[in-house]
Amino acid sequence: MDDPQLPGRELESAVRTLLEEIGEDPDRDGLMRTPGRVRRMYDELTSGYRTDAQALINGACFEVDYDEMVVVRDIEFFSLCEHHLLPFYGRMHVGYLPRGRVIGLSKIPRVVDMYARRLQVQERMTQQVAAFLMEQLNPKGVGCVAEASHLCTMMRGVRKEQARMVTSAMLGRFRQDEKTRTEFLTLIGHS
């Protein structure tokens, strides 16, 4: 039997109440374990709040004599809209101009996940990824573009299934220099 004092019991109780409020029986066969599954799901989908950024990077910043643009494109992400708690999902493209310091390739998608696994709005998430890389690497500039589909727009409200949101954050040379910004946008397929 589950201990009612364990963390997350309040969430499970709230899910039971939600099921009752929509007219369901939380004790029926298919729903009996749903409150626990929902608690575990939210633990996973909001793990970004509990991610230690320095442990995530784990010393994977390296001094390298390289000053050309570095781009990681098509980084898949899944997040939860803070307004409706419905998913939004898509891809983020990240580029930076090193100033003698680069970050390990696998770290950029992990940074995206750290911010995506929080209650979010896409605009903030895009800015957070760019600002984090700017702070950690001190590059000449950072560019991030996120493209996503939002279930809150697709399933309810205006119900526009094909609508996609595109957000960008351009810092340093990506903001100041049109040529740098154009190179980045071309490399990610947005000429």
Tell me which residue has tokens 């984090």: 132
φ/ψ of 185, rounded to 5, equals -65, -35
162 is catalytic: no
150 is catalytic: yes
To the nearest 10 degrees (0 to 180), the angle between helices 122-137 and 107-116 is 140
Catalytic-role residue among 120, 122, 127, 128: 122
Catalytic-role residue among 10, 76, 83, 123: 83
Catalytic-role residue among 10, 20, 82, 135: 82
Q: Which residues pair with 164 in a beta bridge?
A: none
122 is catalytic: yes
φ/ψ of 116, rounded to 5, equals -70, -30
Distance CA 81, CA 142 (A): 25
Catalytic-role residue among 127, 128, 150, 183: 150
Distance CA 183, CA 173 (A): 11
Catalytic-role residue among 24, 61, 84, 136: 84
136 is catalytic: no
Task: Give residues with Cβ within 8 angstroms of 125, minimum separation 6.
Answer: 77, 79, 115, 116, 118, 146
Catalytic-role residue among 81, 93, 128, 183: 81
- Contact assessment for residue 26 and residue 32, using Cβ atoms and an 8 Å cutoff: yes
93 is catalytic: no
Active site amino acids: 81-84, 122, 150, 152
